[in-house]
Structure 1
Amino acid sequence: MKVSDILRVKGGTLYTVSPDVPLSQAVQTMAELDIGSLAVMEYGELVGMLTFREVLHTVAKNSGNCGAGSVRAVMDDHPMSCTSQTDLEQVRPLMLQKHSRYMPVMDDRMLMGVISFYDVAKAVVEAQNFENKMLKAYIRDWPEEEAQPADKA
Structure 2
Amino acid sequence: MKVSDILRVKGGTLYTCHPDDTLIQSAATMAQFDIGSLAVMEHGELVGMLTFREVIHTLAKNNGVLGTRAVRAVMDDHPMSCTPETELDEVRPLMLERHTRYMPVMDNKMLMGVISFYDVAKAVVDSQNFENKMLKAYIRDWPEDETGKTEPNFP
**TM-score over 0.5 (shorter chain):** yes
| 2:14 matched residue in structure 1 | 14
Q: Using the alignment, how far apart are the partners of 1:66 and 1:104 within structure 2?
A: 25
SS of equivalent residue, structure 1 residue 38 = strand
What is the deviation of 1:67? Answer: 2.4
What is the deviation of 1:65? Answer: 1.7
Q: Using the alignment, how far apart are the partners of 2:25 and 2:138 within structure 1?
A: 54
Q: TM-score, normalised to structure 1's length?
A: 0.95
C-alpha deviations, 1:77-99, integer Å up to 9, x for none? 00000000000000000000010
Q: Using the alignment, how far apart are the partners of 1:121 and 1:141 within structure 2?
A: 30
| 1:57 matched residue in structure 2 | 57
| 1:36 matched residue in structure 2 | 36
Write the letter of the residue equivalent to 1:132. N
Q: Using the alignment, how far apart are the partners of 1:24 and 1:61 within structure 2?
A: 15
Where does the alignment leave 5 or more consecutive residues of structure 1 unmatched? 149-153
SS of equivalent residue, structure 2 residue 77 = coil
Count of residues paired in the alignment: 148
| 2:151 matched residue in structure 1 | none
Query: Post-superposition, which runs of at least 4 consecutive aligned residues in structure 1 deviate over 3 A?
Result: none
Q: TM-score, normalised to structure 2's length?
A: 0.94
C-alpha deviations, 1:46-105, integer Å up to 9, x for none? 000000000000000001122221000000000000000000000000000010000000
Identity %: 77
Q: RMSD of the TM alignment (CA)?
A: 0.9
Q: Using the alignment, how far apart are the partners of 2:53 and 2:18 within structure 1?
A: 18
| 2:84 matched residue in structure 1 | 84
Q: Using the alignment, how far apart are the partners of 2:67 and 2:84 within structure 1?
A: 36
SS of equivalent residue, structure 1 residue 80 = coil
Verify: 1:68 aligned to 2:68, yes or no: yes
SS of equivalent residue, structure 1 residue 122 = helix
Q: Using the alignment, how far apart are the partners of 2:45 and 2:136 within structure 1?
A: 47
Where does the alignment leave 5 or more consecutive residues of structure 2 unmatched? 149-155
Write the letter of the residue equivalent to 1:134. M
Write the letter of the residue equivalent to 1:122. K
| CA contact 1:59–1:67 (8 Å) conserved in 2 | no
| 1:47 matched residue in structure 2 | 47
| CA contact 1:3–1:88 (8 Å) conserved in 2 | yes
| CA contact 1:22–1:70 (8 Å) conserved in 2 | yes
Write the letter of the residue equivalent to 1:49. M
Write the letter of the residue equivalent to 2:35. I
Q: Using the alignment, how far apart are the partners of 1:138 and 1:3 within structure 2?
A: 29
